[in-house]
């Protein structure tokens, strides 16, 4: 992943911290914050939010665990981006989602959300967002 600006140290920090938030209310906090930050976004979600929270956690788990195999996850992320376009997700929502994700991670990890962990997650999210937006 170093070709993408994510170092082995970043991967370790992301994977270790993800393990701490995987089965927590982090994903509920994320969507609550996301909907507070942009009142347009809730209209994009048609189904059960508990199901959506489970899906985002599952997707993040797959991507986080696959960080050492970009040849596998990059095409999957691109396909996910294509689906998000079909759902009506606009490019401007990605920065709002990033803010909500950083908030939720910070709330859930507490003191474990160190500046280095945050920086690694920001780089990771920026890679996700830019890959999803490649057309």
Write down the CATH number for the domain with range 2-132. Answer: 1.10.490.10
pTM of the model: 0.89
Coil, helix or strand for 47?
coil
Give, for all 135 residues of the chain, the pLDDT tens digit.
Answer: 555 689 999 999 999 999 999 989 999 999 999 999 999 998 888 888 888 888 888 889 999 999 988 888 888 888 888 888 788 888 889 999 999 999 999 999 999 999 999 999 999 999 999 998 875
The residue ranges of every structural domain in the chain are 2-132
- For residue 68, give every residue at least 6 positions away whose Cβ sits within 8 Å of its Cβ, in sequence order, or none: 1, 11
- Among the listed residues 17, 49, 133, the one whose alpha carbon sits nearest the alpha carbon of residue 84: 133
- Among the listed residues 85, 89, 86, 80, the one whose alpha carbon sits nearest the alpha carbon of residue 58: 80
Contact present, 37 and 100 (Cβ < 8 Å): yes
Sequence length of the chain is 135
């Amino acid at each position: 992943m170093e070709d993408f600006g994510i170092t082995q140290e970043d991967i370790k920090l992301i994977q270790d911290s993800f393990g701490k938030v995987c089965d927590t209310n982090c994903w509920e906090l994320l969507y609550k914050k996301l909907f507070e930050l942009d009142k347009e976004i809730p209209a994009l979600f048609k189904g059960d939010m508990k199901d959506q929270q489970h899906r985002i956690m599952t997707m993040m788990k797959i991507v986080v665990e696959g960080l050492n195999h970009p040849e596998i996850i990059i095409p999957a992320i691109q396909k996910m981006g294509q689906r998000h376009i079909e759902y009506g997700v606009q490019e401007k929502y990605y920065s709002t989602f990033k803010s909500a994700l950083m908030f939720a991670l910070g709330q859930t990890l507490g003191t474990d959300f160190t500046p280095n962990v945050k920086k690694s997650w920001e780089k990771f999210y920026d890679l996700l967002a830019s890959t999803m937006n490649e057309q």
